[in-house]
Amino acid sequence: MRTRLAIALLLAPLAAHAAASVATYEAIRGRASKTVRVQGYDSAVASGTYVLIHPLSTTAVQFLTTADELIVAAGGNANDATAGTGCREITFCGLNDSWAEVCEAEATAGASASTKTTAKFFRLHYAYCSSSGTAHAANTAAISITTEGAVAIASIEAGLGRTRQALYTVPDGWTAYLRAVRVSVDAGTSEADLRVLSAGDQSDVTAPVASPQIVDQLVDVSGSVERVYEVLPELTEKSDVWVEASGAGGASEVAVLLELLLVQDAQ
């Protein structure tokens, strides 16, 4: 009897998880949906302080409270220009001043700043080199992306052609479900601690505002770790989700991939 009871107690949480997963999938069946992949990378996460995983680790990425135009900042390489051998055009994709998805392309201008976007952005999900002067070649040098007001937003590392920052904001009229988190920490450097955070509706910037909430945490990671969720954490429209890391005793090289299921809300 005790054995049967013990087995029943062990199986109860699994049954609850399965029921919750079925309920989630039943609720979203038939709605428009798509998979979103969000990648972040930092070559040297310092110890002692959690930072957003992105190549600009020494510069805090800003969560804009006022939408602004985006530009490719001045100071780039001469080859990354409209007649150059490198990246000739950058496409910005994110959320506009209505929190709707938008993509807009601007020509690169080498050492000069690009023309500003027509759209104003609350969030940049990613930017990529959408035109190149040489086959199988991307940007010659690192490309910095800022608002027109000179707020640092993102960076495209040399030769990679796309931003890598572990941050996503759910568009208006959609709900996101976190499917998986995949992490890689260079085993030759220090271990790292990581945490997945979210914050609700970011369109309300007058206090009281949505507070960050811990979604998951991974401790003392070295090598590759995959976290696949049976019960999918839900993120409502205009919510931020991001991943931070802290080195454990030294600088850590960290890469992360978030996989989200984006589902259109019921009309």
For 77-102, what is each residue's pLDDT tens digit?
999 999 999 999 999 999 999 999 99
- Cα–Cα distance measured from residue 202 to residue 187, given in angstroms and rounded to the nearest whole number: 36
Number of domains into which the chain is organized: 2
Three-class secondary structure of residue 21 per DSSP = helix
**71 - beta bridge partners?**
146
- Cα–Cα distance measured from residue 3 to residue 30, given in angstroms and rounded to the nearest whole number: 42
In a domain, 9, yes or no: no
Residue 173 makes CB contacts below 8 A (sequence gap 6+) with 100, 237, 264, 265
**39 - beta bridge partners?**
257
**Of 156, 180, 198, at which residue does a domain stop?**
156
Weakest-pLDDT range from 131-135, 150-154, 156-160, 236-240: 150-154
Tens of pLDDT, residue by residue over 152-202, are 999 999 999 999 999 999 999 999 999 999 999 998 778 999 999 999 999
Weakest-pLDDT range from 88-92, 181-185, 208-212, 249-253: 249-253
CA distances from 127 to 72, 104, 233 (A): 10, 9, 26
Q: What's the pLDDT at 49?
A: 87
257/184 same-domain check: yes
Higher pLDDT, 28 or 220: 220
**Of 127, 156, 185, at which residue does a domain stop?**
156
Q: Which domain holds residue 144?
A: 70-156
In a domain, 15, yes or no: no
**Of 156, 178, 201, at which residue does a domain stop?**
156
In a domain, 225, yes or no: yes
185/105 same-domain check: no
83/123 same-domain check: yes
44/75 same-domain check: no
Tens of pLDDT, residue by residue over 50-74, are 989 998 765 666 789 999 999 999 9
Three-class secondary structure of residue 248 per DSSP = coil
In a domain, 140, yes or no: yes
113/39 same-domain check: no
In a domain, 94, yes or no: yes
The one-letter code for the residue type at 93 is C
**121 - beta bridge partners?**
68, 96
Full DSSP string of 58-103: TSPPP--SS-B-EEEPS---TTSBTTSSSEEEEEEEEEETTS-EEE
pTM of the model: 0.88
Q: Give per-residue burial for 156-194: e unless 16+ CB within 10 Å, then b.
A: bbeebbbbbbbbbbbbbebbbbbbebbbbbbeebbbbbb
